[in-house]
Amino acid sequence: MFVAEIKKLPFIEFDRDCSVEMVMNIIFSASVDHLQKNFVLFQKQSDPESLTQLRVGLRRVRVALRIFKLVLPRDFRNGLKEGTRHFGRQLGIGRDLDVLLNEYLSPEKLKVKQEGALQSLRNLVEQRRQQDYVIIQQDLLDNNFQALIDQLKTLTDQSWKKGSDKDVSDLLASPVVPFASETLVSGAAHLREMDTERATLNGEGIHKLRRRVKKARYQLRFFMSICDTDTAQSMIDQLTKLQDCLGHIRDVTESRRLILHFLEYAETSDYVKIMELDAALTRVAIKEFRTNMQNFDRLWQDYMKKDGIEKTLISA
């Protein structure tokens, strides 16, 4: 089967002399185009890669909505936030099963004796994954994902500006440089304030920390064209590594939960072998969890040492 090339968000480029409104239009135009292209691909292919790009694209849009929240009418913004949040949750269902199959139950990556049990477990997950992908596709149609994209497109025209007060008009017309600099500084401060609670985070806390890491990274990507390129790229690379560590930690714990869930649906003839397989997978999970926590602690300490660097990313 022919698989079309996945469309990733392109580099967002603009000049320092642009206004806030001009940059907002550029960011939302690129983000909406990215969603539209991958929505078409997912409808045609139902593949994990375009699904991932849809999830990533929705997260970026939510970050952009927060960046420009002062200029967007509250009801309009809240409607978009609710739509992106709903579809983000739905798309996450398929993503967890893809990770389980392609990472934690991959015959190529696992060296275990219980090959028959592994295949039995994979069969259960693959059956559920096919069902969930049908549900996801139907939800995208029933709840009209295209309508959400069309609504996002209105961010780049002038219709939502009707009735805006003078403060909003002034902010839209103001230079982007101070606006972008303040956004990057506040985003980094919002992330670093979690340092005091980092050592005692539970699962929800790790998820919250990861969201803030992604937010800081997306903000840098949005405004990178007016930043010091080398410094900004170094920060993006560091945030990406932090995000990956936290993502692996979350994936390990979620995969453990899913395996125990699917164990309930195994045939009794496979039950003992799958439990033996689960014991082997648990040892792998413990090692991965420990390694990623150690890597995260080291990367986080390095990141904290760069406190304040965001103030120098964009020269006045």
User: In 10 A of CB 160, how many CB atoms?
Assistant: 16
- Cβ neighbours of residue 177 under 8 Å, at least 6 residues apart? 16, 226, 314, 316
pLDDT at 6: 60
Q: Do residues 152 and 24 make contact, with C-beta atoms less than 8 angstroms apart? A: no
CATH number belonging to domain 20-158+174-305: 1.40.20.10
Say what the pLDDT of residue 158 is. Answer: 64
What's the CA gap between 50 and 46, in Å, rounded?
8
The pLDDT, as a whole number, for residue 60 is: 93
CB 88 within 8 A of CB 55: yes
Average pLDDT over residues 252-267: 86
Query: Count of CB atoms within 10 A of residue 278's CB?
Result: 18
Task: Indicate the domain borders of the chain.
Answer: 20-158+174-305
Does residue 273 contact residue 115 with C-beta atoms inside 8 Å?
no
> pTM to 2 decimals?
0.88
End-to-end CA distance of the chain: 52
How does DSSP classify residue 8? Answer: P
Bigger pLDDT: 249 vs 114: 249
State which of 155-159, 231-235, 250-254 shows the largest mean pLDDT: 231-235
Per residue in 70-85, pLDDT tens?
888 888 888 898 999 9
Q: Which residues contact 172 (CB under 8 A, 6 or more apart)?
A: 19, 20, 21, 24, 71, 161, 164
The phi and psi torsions of 269 (rounded to 5 degrees) equal -65, -25
Q: How is 34-95 classified by DSSP, letter by letter?
A: HHHHHHHHHHHH--HHHHHHHHHHHHHHHHHHHHTTTTS-HHHHHHHHHHHHHHHHHHHHHH
Q: Which has the closest alpha carbon to 72: 11, 15, 25?
A: 25
Q: For 149-208, what is each residue's pLDDT tens digit?
A: 998 988 877 656 666 788 888 888 899 999 999 999 999 999 999 998 877 878 788 889
Give the rounded distance of the alpha carbon of 190 from its chain centre.
18
Whether 265 shows a pLDDT value over 90: the answer reads no
φ/ψ of 113, rounded to 5, equals: -80, -25
Query: Could you tell me what percent of the chain has a pLDDT over 70?
Result: 95
**By mean pLDDT, which of 17-31, 53-67, 73-87, 176-190 is the weakest?**
73-87
Query: Does the pLDDT at position 68 exceed 70?
Result: yes
Q: What average pLDDT is seen over the chain?
A: 87
Residues with Cβ within 8 Å of residue 91, at least 6 apart in sequence: 51, 54, 55, 58, 136
pLDDT band at 274; cut points 50, 70, 90: confident
pLDDT at 37 over 80: yes
SS3 11: coil
* pLDDT confidence tier of residue 92, bands split at 50, 70 and 90: confident
Angle at 218 between CA 162 and CA 240, to 5 degrees: 170
**Residue 251 pLDDT more than 70?**
yes
pLDDT bin (cut points 50, 70, 90) of residue 294 is very high
Q: What is the pLDDT of residue 2?
A: 41
Residues near 196 by beta carbon (within 8 Å), at least 6 away in sequence? none
Using the structure block, give the residue that is written with the tokens 């405004």.
Answer: 223
Q: Which residue has the higher pLDDT, 203 or 63?
A: 63
Q: Which amino acid is at 26?
A: I
Confidence label for 31 from pLDDT (cuts 50, 70 and 90) = very high
Q: What is the model's pLDDT at position 223?
A: 96
Q: Which amino acid is at 308?
A: G
Confidence bin at 269 (pLDDT 50/70/90): confident
What pLDDT score does 3 carry? Answer: 46
Helices (H), the chain: 20-45, 48-67, 74-99, 115-142, 145-153, 166-173, 176-192, 203-223, 229-263, 268-304
